[in-house]
Amino acid sequence: MTSPAGPGPGPGRHILVCGGAGFIGSCFVRDVLARRDGTRITVLDVLTYAGNRANLAPAEADPEQAPRLSFVRGDIADPAAVGPLVARADAVVNFAAESHVDRSILGPEAFLRTGVIGVYVLLEAIRHETELARAGERRTAGGRPMTAPRLLQVSTDEVYGSVEEGSSREGDTLAPRSPYAAAKAAGDLLVGSYRATFDLDVVLTRGANTYGPFQHPEKLIPLVATNALLGMPIPLYGDGLQRRDWLHVTDHAAAIAFVLEHGEPGAIYNVPGGTERANREIVAALLAALGRPWDLVRRVPDRPGHDRRYAMDGARLAALGWRASVPFAAGLAATAAWYRDNAGWWRAIRDAGWDDYYARQYGARIAAGEPVPTPPGWGSTSGAGPTVAVAAFPSVGPAIELDGPEDLGA
């Protein structure tokens, strides 16, 4: 087993999780607390439309886990909220972001505030604590000396831009093409600059498209599942042949915990899912899993600047000792079943403030939408077409020789 390079979960460890009420952050919180290893977690989350205390309910309802979890409602761009919390943390994991490409096209400003100013405020707090630690003045409330906190910044494959062929490596040039991806890339560059200038203990992960339970219904997989369950039209952007690499949320959260513990200071780690699919295959598989007809699908005008394909090389993380373990077909089927069985969770979201967004995002496009010809092999338009299920696409490209691990600020 790889030796620890940083403060991962463990007895006596205190992790500040920013954005921990969202989709991936709450999975990280639930899964780390469920290890029952004594790790304490403070969640700092401003609870945007995407933040949801209900995502933390399983941990809050567990008598062993609840005392190890604290929740603070606050903004990562607010130094007064961030400073005292970073002061008590062994590590900070930053999930907080505006995370939806379509919303970044409707209104980019919030993306920049959290993705740039928010990351800067976190870095300044880490820098302050690092200086205290270097002076021997960083202490617990009980007076025990503390080392400098590690920051793990959660980033995305979208910073590499559209990858027509092959797969992105950690040292590749960033080429973001949406305001969301540009804000994330700016955060990555800021983290790198603080590594180069102040020698902070920072690591960065770039995860693939993530799916699983508790994902806000604005994203492709939960949107298709919930619209299908409601019998509503399913918007397929353009030709539906855009390709994404899919990573189950428990794998994504586990990779982040692993990099927090084992990642080399200053290194970036891609976290691929190893499962590349065209969007229309995803839609077909979900409709089949839920027993809903293909004729719900509508071809709608494409997203402006739509990235055609994402794919990452995961050799560096594999060399560190981690790879994804949830098989896509099983993970997708379980996710479809979760949305079928947890209608109360997503109906509460789709009841509150959803209609305005949906009308803005989809109203005119669905009206302009056209039926999509039934894929070959689909049994009938009135029932499931299990033979469509999920075609196997080749996975990511060949492994390539590794660079040294120091990317940030190098």
What is the set of active-site residues? 157-158, 180
Q: How far is the CB of 202 from ligand TYD (least distance, A)?
A: 24
Nearer to ligand NAD, 113 or 132 (CB): 113
Q: How far is the CB of 217 from ligand NAD (least distance, A)?
A: 11
- From ligand TYD, ligand NAD, none, which one binds at residue 236 (CB under 5 to 8 Å depending on kind)? ligand TYD
Work out which of 39, 42, 210, 227 binds ligand NAD, going by CB under 6 A. 210
Q: Does 95 bind ligand NAD (CB under 6 A)?
A: yes
Work out which of 39, 104, 130, 156 binds ligand NAD, going by CB under 6 A. 156
Work out which of 45, 201, 307, 407 binds ligand NAD, going by CB under 6 A. 45
Q: Does 97 bind ligand NAD (CB under 6 A)?
A: yes
Q: Does 46 bind ligand NAD (CB under 6 A)?
A: yes
Q: Does 160 bind ligand NAD (CB under 6 A)?
A: no
Nearer to ligand TYD, 235 or 273 (CB): 235
- From ligand NAD, ligand TYD, none, which one binds at residue 23 (CB under 5 to 8 Å depending on kind)? ligand NAD
Residues that bind ligand TYD (CB under 6 A): 101, 209, 219-220, 223, 235-237, 242, 244, 279, 303
Work out which of 59, 96, 220, 349 binds ligand NAD, going by CB under 6 A. 96
Handedness of CA 255, 257, 261, 267 (dihedral sign): positive
Q: How far is the CB of 77 from ligand NAD (least distance, A)?
A: 5
Q: Does 138 bind ligand NAD (CB under 6 A)?
A: no
Q: How far is the CB of 349 from ligand NAD (least distance, A)?
A: 11
CB 261, CB 4: distance < 8 Å: yes
Q: How far is the CB of 215 from ligand NAD (least distance, A)?
A: 7
Q: Does 114 bind ligand NAD (CB under 6 A)?
A: yes
Q: Does 275 bind ligand NAD (CB under 6 A)?
A: no
CB 188, CB 159: distance < 8 Å: yes
What are 207's two structure tokens?
Answer: 């995860």
Residues of the shown chain interacting with ligand NAD in the complex, contacts defined by CB under 6 A = 18-19, 21-25, 44-48, 50-51, 75-77, 95-97, 99, 114, 118, 154, 156, 184, 207, 209-210, 216
